[in-house]
Amino acid sequence: MDLRSNGPFWLLKHGIIKSYPSLQKNVTTEIAVIGGGISGALTAWHLQQVGFDVLVLDRRHIGMGSTAASTALLQYEIDTPLRELVKLRGEKDAIKSYELCLKSITDIKNICSKLNAKKLFIPSPSFQFASYKKDKDPLWEEFEWRKKAGIEIEWLEEKDVLDKFGFSKPAGILSATGASLDAYALTHKLLNDGQLKGMQVCDHTEIVSIRHKKRGVELLTGDGKRIKARKLIIACGYESQQYIPFKIQELQSTFAIISEPVAIQELWYKDSLIWETSTPYLYLRTTEDKRIIIGGKDIDSSDPNKRDKYINIKSKDLEKSFAKLFPSIPFKTDFRWAGTFASTIDGLPYIGAIRQRPHTLFALGFGGNGITFSIIAAQIICDLLKNKNNKDARLFSFNR
């Protein structure tokens, strides 16, 4: 699957951080992880931390699928608003899902600290505004649900929005907890740390066959090498659908642009993450070198040719949307790109097993919360493989 266009900022910024050899011989391992992006890296790293022998495999260079194109906003807010998730999943499960996403932001911060990669994690508030007057009442209901869940938030009226952010919108929710990340660089940090402790990492190694045996799985690569593993983790994002005999996702395309560095110390209130209530929503973040990333203008197609033809048009649309919000901030696009993403019916990820694939677990994050969902997946999978009860696993199971 063609997951992204050429020219994502993180790949241009870092290049190939590290090359990993393709698999050169038949191997036996305790855990095989298919997928060398941020989801696979987080899962593999967590598994190694609790004592498992892990082999990571990717058919591309490491991190060069969706991870290289990610705008990497870290938010506890799920694409499905809490008020809607309560209707779909019930109050207890909906609130718990939000709580886990909130906790995962702190967990990512702690991982970055442990890996001496603090600069990759940029903490900031998160601000969601009502795009239109009709959105104000539903957003207030959302505010009340989040307050009930104990989340640290503040309601902003139109005057408050103008005072804090400099643009006029009917209302908004300002959340204390949010962050942004360099997901591509963190992926390599995780796997490099893993390698130093014995993890095997192989890129340019495509799995063409999976055989489920009585006591494990046997994988066959495109080069004819065999991998025997006690357990298999599939963490290859939106490409994972090929391993599941029923539909779990809807594919779309999203677009992003990044500015040249802007010589303003604080671009807007505490350089918050900014997003809106409209669907699809516009979203903004900053980088450590004071660039501005704008994303959105999604289309209901994952066809790479159609997607990439839209890049210039959507880039101009994103520039216009930014200029309406911040006419006094100079924005000159430096790079532009597009990527495929997936959504689920309830906005939640799929984590765990399906009966059709014995000895196999899936770590699948979707939507705007792919990275925070990946932390949750890694923790749940570690518990499942350690035969520890994880009461949250049912929230994201395939038979929910």
Domain CATH for 40: 3.50.50.60
Q: Which pTM does this prediction carry?
A: 0.94
* CB contact at 8 A, 158 and 171: yes
Both 258 and 135 in one domain: the answer is yes
Residue 62 within a domain: yes
Banded model confidence at residue 195, pLDDT cuts 50, 70, 90: very high
The answer to whether residue 64 sits within a structural domain is: yes
Q: Residue 298 falls within a domain, yes or no?
A: yes
Mean pLDDT of all residues in 275-281: 93
Whether pLDDT at 3 is above 70: no
Q: Are residues 324 and 193 in the same domain?
A: no
Residues 161 and 262 placed together within one structural domain of the fold? yes
Q: Report which of 392, 294, 147 is spatially closest to residue 139, judged by C-alpha positions.
A: 147
Whether residue 261 sits in one domain with residue 157 = yes
Same domain membership, residue 139 and residue 59: no
Q: Which residue has the tokens 């608003």?
A: 81
In a shared domain, residues 31 and 139: no
Residue 96 lies in a domain: no
For residues 325 and 219, state if they share a domain: no
**Final residue belonging to a domain, choices 323, 341, 359:** 341
- Find out whether 165 and 326 touch, Cβ atoms under 8 Å: no
Residue ranges making up the domain that contains 336: 123-178+249-341
Q: Are residues 215 and 360 in the same domain?
A: yes
Burial of 184 (0-12, 13-18, 19+ CB in 10 A): buried
Residues 258 and 306 in one domain: yes
Count of structural domains, the chain:
2
Token digits of residue 231? 């357990």
- Do the domain assignments include residue 270? yes
Q: What does the pLDDT look like over 11-43, one tens digit per residue?
A: 999 999 998 999 999 999 999 999 999 999 999
Res. 368 pLDDT band, cuts 50 70 90: confident
Q: Work out the pLDDT band at 101, boundaries 50, 70, 90.
A: very high
Q: Is 285 among the domain residues?
A: yes
- The angle at the Cα of 334, spanning 329 to 337, to the nearest 5 degrees, equals 115
Asked whether residue 199 falls in the same domain as residue 327, the answer is no
Looking at the fold, whether 359 and 231 belong to one and the same domain comes out as: yes
What size, in residues, is the chain? 400
Tell me: pLDDT of 2 over 70.
no
Please state, rounded to an integer, the average pLDDT across all residues of the chain. 96
Pair (44, 60) in one structural domain: yes
- Reading the block at residue 318, the tokens are 């994103």
Share of the chain above pLDDT 70, in %: 99
CATH number of the domain to which 316 belongs: 3.30.9.10
